[in-house]
Structure 1
């Protein structure tokens, strides 16, 4: 039988997977189909299950199951802590985020804060801190001036301080326990002259309570969560190992007669392990402390970008300059930017000129000269001159905000290589627990006396030394640091999968205009071979192109404006992708485009126009043709200089074994001239969007890993289909949206950087995975006691805890090396 329900509270594929597994765990349920977008869920059952029983499955979670028609209020998320955006560093629920700090509900790990823009400071009263306002003023309670709230302390710093406080408390109480336990090694132990061992054991028990039930209690909470959700991890092993040691000692104090003599001392007391439990827990806490400190550095690149966002701006209103919050800026506002100021939002200069340091966005250290109508970007730094700009993109629409959002999203995404680590991690903890049990049995049967004590201690050592978290953190830490490094260099990665694939690319398809060339075409001349004058044709072409987004069209409009030619009203405008434009002006049908557009309207290209146009095309110029009422009347000669970096970038890519192919909508003569100048492997001219798309398909079917680089709407389909789509940041929003990698500066050298970044990140991930696997493969047998028969060596559970604590820190430290590496080659 099939039933349809609705499940609320799911926000990502991780939620969907968790809900599906929960439902499928019920034996009466045969299959579950979930539509994540609307929560509609079809459940096939062997026998009917009451809805109340299904609801019990999700008690204590954010999910609710109900009938389709039932109106319910979605559960509030059960989280505590400070506001913000947080995610689990282990990616337990995919890319799911939380709006408050706390522990991951699946694995128990501390949620990590995502770096976000805090555009405006908040104000509070020094006498009444509960008063918080968005702007300065007087306290409504006492009248005192409100002061800016301290916002320098990040969520990571707060977590670090909290852990540091607990660590010192744990250390203060653990140290005397350790000294008491170690005093047994002193001949004629002087402590026993003060009081009997039984009372010293009770003192150790009392000192251990703050350590276990306050400073490190979170480890046991996480262990419980991991077992309850069956997402077994490091805390499962620590909770079992340290918990067994402490409980064994506690019951040994209360009921000593229940224990065999092997566990008893010469004084008749049970040998307690309070020092092992507390030292293990304190060392693990030290590892968490060091990990928190190291983790705070993994997204330093984003934090540096956040520092670029100014809080204030100067708006010009009725000739007056007024300081406002950046949140108050609206599209169309005129803003004054003074020397040395950070540019508040994206826009264009309307008055003045300057040079701007864009290194923090593009990665290029040389300031860029700007004048009227030039674009300026939020977060970049003005030089020594003042100017007025018009706001065009504000808030989340600015390039800086988009970069930060893209970096954060990519940092949370999973690379395909992580599937290996996830698969191993799924079996890891059960295998370690099994090894621990086998270790206990083997030592009990074959070990020297007291065999039970050896078995107990070594079984705990096996549990404590294993570190699945090092394996789980190996990939996401490298991805986070690598994506941040790329952002600093002007290479924006949309997801971890594209970062991994970029290292395998062997064919690169590139567009011409705006990719190989500057994308700032200029009209050299308009040639008329008819009764129409050059000015007439200029007026026709610019009027039609006024509504087109193509860079070549914009060039013709600028050409007309420079000649002070008035534009005409047009009707029935139509942009034919990959061919040109069409419109009606004064009852005349105007066509501006390439030969394919002409042939569509049965216009034959021959004679004098054909000869003259070929001469220009052979020089690498682009030549759109002009037709009036299906009669060919002239053509436009447009030049677009090849970028200085294109040749060196293409050479560098070919040296890495990448085949570079140019596909352009331009004619074969222009394409050939550019291809020969750049020494490309191949080129294709007169390409429509579907031609580029089909070429990508063809190459993929041949087994190639294909990257596509472009900047226009006509490139979007191929960008989306390619294994890695690369958009020029200077291109259209559609191209950027369709791509996996965006190059802020918009030149081919960015692809060289992206390739180098991919290679370094993948190498770093493999190093991390090797270290994590090698550590566990070597450490677990040593903890089990394989060295004892030959060397007589055993690993103390406390030393095992120390080794485990530093394994995750070592993985993060290795990932942090990416911050200092260059990615220019």
Structure 2
């Protein structure tokens, strides 16, 4: 196979020869032809060689040339492209928030083929931090280290915006544009209701209609066009939904208004104003599309908040770990940890993966899993969990479960699954929605027929206008959104508060709960121990006893000792010197005071 790379830095035939010699040293390379004029190197290889390996080969030979994949060549000038690995905040799996097709997922963003709603991306189960060089942003690694080009230390790469954040910002921008055009249309349309209508002194009725038409165009063909696309898809697939009614209602009203603007003589005098113009509905089209867009904006905001709750859980897992390799410590990405690796956990660090302690001992704060406020003493052979926090001692652990297999990842998976689960009441809403749209369309047609037969003249025009009114007013936005959004927001808020809800059915049943029984004090307290009261037996003085107890605990790292020291500090207790101090793991402390 042959690949062409751009080489930045070659200036003479000597540079060309050095590049060819260095790259030819690789066993996979069968031929190298460098060109100074084109600033490129054509490499023939028996097996694919990563760009990083080629760059490291040049650097090892003392050649500080930058290698990159050649994108295109034109006019003898090289256009280079340094490949950049996109940071994926999610895992590339998308699902419909309405769950129209159950648990079916998609591998790319878009609209649900059934209901037309924007697909939502699942967050990654394992947080992945990438690193880049401040001097060469094209260099991106999955683990910290040095830049293969210049040797500088790599710095953490800020993650890109999530899909939900981008969707929200896009909708927010469209909402601003829609308001800019919709508000003037609404004001012009309502001006007839003002006393003496100040606009009539400046603009004629026909001019006002043309202005409304022009201002409505961006709302219909830009900010609200997606709703017509979704409506069209719903009729093609015959999966009728709320966008079906929105598309028909606003579309017909818009076409009616254009006809009334351009061909007013086709309408009877009963539909005309005193100025001879037809009553148009541009403001109805613009306002309805803007209100639906507002609903989509609020929905995207809710998705972003729920996704943010899951991301807060992801932050409990560190992005790096200290790997013990050949007797030396090496900082690696958490994604590079394999089962059986030995990891060093320093005081105050988060446990990177699930495993057991091989050397040393410490106290571990496991409140994020157990709810218990007091850290647990851990000895050699004891299990430790990812996301829990080490105390004030260092130890060596062996990785046993990594990535999506850790307990924390399973908790995050449970939250994701719960947010996608369907509440029993949602089944009723789905059944109603199935018949609702065809029923509304049938009522609209019936309205037109009844007005055409028994309505006053002009009967057909009256029938047409009332049929359009039925389609617009009957839009079931709340029916389709209320239950799924309630489930998503409820479970997301629960996750933020540390409450994990198993599924939507459990959330619905909570409405019937009137008694809460808890067996863990840590779930209803501050989450850390404190001294409530000191009880002194006869013959002892409280001040003196507290002074001795606090003096002995001043050298202990145990959380109970910290609570005693806080209590003594509040009482302004002075401390004694302590001799022969000893910490007895799991039993307490001992020493000589005074």
Shift of 1:217: 0.8
Contact 2:91 2:121 in 1 (8 A): no
Contact 1:348 1:372 in 2 (8 A): yes
Partner residue of 1:604? Answer: none
1:88 pairs, out of 92, 96, 120, with 96
Q: Provide the rounded CA distance (Å) in 2 between the counterparts of 1:275 and 1:214.
A: 16
Equivalent residue of 1:336, what SS? strand
What do residues 321-348 of structure 1 show as CA deviations (whole Å, max 9, x unaligned)?
2111001111111111122211100001
Partner residue of 1:653? Answer: none
Q: Provide the rounded CA distance (Å) in 2 between the counterparts of 1:330 and 1:318.
A: 15
What do residues 229-268 of structure 1 show as CA deviations (whole Å, max 9, x unaligned)?
2221111111111111111111222222222223222222
Contact 1:357 1:381 in 2 (8 A): yes
Matched, 1:336 2:381: no
Q: Pairwise mapping of residues 147-186 of structure 1 onto structure 2 (< 5 A)?
A: 148-151=156-159, 153-186=161-194
Equivalent residue of 2:107, what SS? strand
Aligned CA distance change for structure 1 residues 333 and 83 (closer, same or farther; 3 Å)? closer
2:122 pairs, out of 101, 114, 118, with 114
Q: Pairwise mapping of residues 741-760 of structure 1 onto structure 2 (< 5 A)?
A: none
Q: Pairwise mapping of residues 607-756 of structure 1 onto structure 2 (< 5 A)?
A: none
Aligned CA distance change for structure 1 residues 286 and 264 (closer, same or farther; 3 Å)? same
Q: Provide the rounded CA distance (Å) in 2 between the counterparts of 1:127 and 1:216.
A: 43
Partner residue of 1:516? Answer: none
Partner residue of 1:319? Answer: 327
Q: Provide the rounded CA distance (Å) in 2 between the counterparts of 1:182 and 1:452.
A: 26
Partner residue of 1:394? Answer: 402
Partner residue of 1:16? Answer: none
Contact 2:306 2:493 in 1 (8 A): no
Partner residue of 2:422? Answer: 414
2:223 pairs, out of 207, 215, 225, with 215
Contact 2:303 2:488 in 1 (8 A): no
Aligned CA distance change for structure 1 residues 130 and 452 (closer, same or farther; 3 Å)? farther
Matched, 1:385 2:393: yes
Q: Provide the rounded CA distance (Å) in 2 between the counterparts of 1:484 and 1:372.
A: 37
Q: Provide the rounded CA distance (Å) in 2 between the counterparts of 1:251 and 1:438.
A: 23
Partner residue of 1:348? Answer: 356
Q: Provide the rounded CA distance (Å) in 2 between the counterparts of 1:175 and 1:461.
A: 21
Q: Pairwise mapping of residues 188-199 of structure 1 onto structure 2 (< 5 A)?
A: 188-199=196-207
Shift of 1:465: 3.7
Partner residue of 1:626? Answer: none
Matched, 1:200 2:208: yes
Partner residue of 1:370? Answer: 378
Matched, 1:225 2:233: yes
Q: Provide the rounded CA distance (Å) in 1 between the counterparts of 2:486 and 2:196.
A: 54
Contact 2:317 2:352 in 1 (8 A): yes
1:102 pairs, out of 103, 110, 119, with 110
1:252 pairs, out of 240, 260, 272, with 260
Partner residue of 2:479? Answer: 471
What do residues 104-133 of structure 1 show as CA deviations (whole Å, max 9, x unaligned)?
122210111222235322346779877755
Shift of 1:750: 8.5
Matched, 1:304 2:312: yes
Shift of 1:404: 1.8
Q: Provide the rounded CA distance (Å) in 2 between the counterparts of 1:90 and 1:485.
A: 19
Contact 2:90 2:123 in 1 (8 A): no
Aligned CA distance change for structure 1 residues 158 and 419 (closer, same or farther; 3 Å)? same
Partner residue of 2:300? Answer: 292
Contact 1:305 1:360 in 2 (8 A): no
Shift of 1:364: 3.7
What do residues 360-391 of structure 1 show as CA deviations (whole Å, max 9, x unaligned)?
22344443332221111111122232222111
Q: Provide the rounded CA distance (Å) in 1 between the counterparts of 2:510 and 2:184.
A: 55
Contact 2:90 2:122 in 1 (8 A): no
Question: Given the two structures, how large is their TM-score scaled by the length of structure 2?
Answer: 0.63
Contact 1:117 1:309 in 2 (8 A): no
Shift of 1:304: 2.2
Shift of 1:394: 0.8
State the Cα RMSD in Å: 3.7
Aligned CA distance change for structure 1 residues 140 and 437 (closer, same or farther; 3 Å)? farther
Shift of 1:136: 6.0
Aligned CA distance change for structure 1 residues 299 and 358 (closer, same or farther; 3 Å)? farther
Shift of 1:205: 1.3
Contact 1:403 1:487 in 2 (8 A): no
Shift of 1:101: 2.2
Q: Provide the rounded CA distance (Å) in 2 between the counterparts of 1:158 and 1:455.
A: 43
Q: Provide the rounded CA distance (Å) in 2 between the counterparts of 1:141 and 1:443.
A: 78
Partner residue of 1:724? Answer: none
**Structure 1, unpaired ranges of 5+:** 1-80, 505-747, 752-825
Equivalent residue of 1:296, what SS? helix
Shift of 1:393: 0.6
**Structure 2, unpaired ranges of 5+:** 1-88, 521-594
Q: Provide the rounded CA distance (Å) in 2 between the counterparts of 1:228 and 1:168.
A: 31
Q: Provide the rounded CA distance (Å) in 2 between the counterparts of 1:345 and 1:493.
A: 24
Q: Provide the rounded CA distance (Å) in 2 between the counterparts of 1:85 and 1:294.
A: 19
Shift of 1:492: 6.6
Contact 1:125 1:144 in 2 (8 A): yes
Aligned CA distance change for structure 1 residues 369 and 471 (closer, same or farther; 3 Å)? farther
Q: Provide the rounded CA distance (Å) in 2 between the counterparts of 1:284 and 1:469.
A: 8
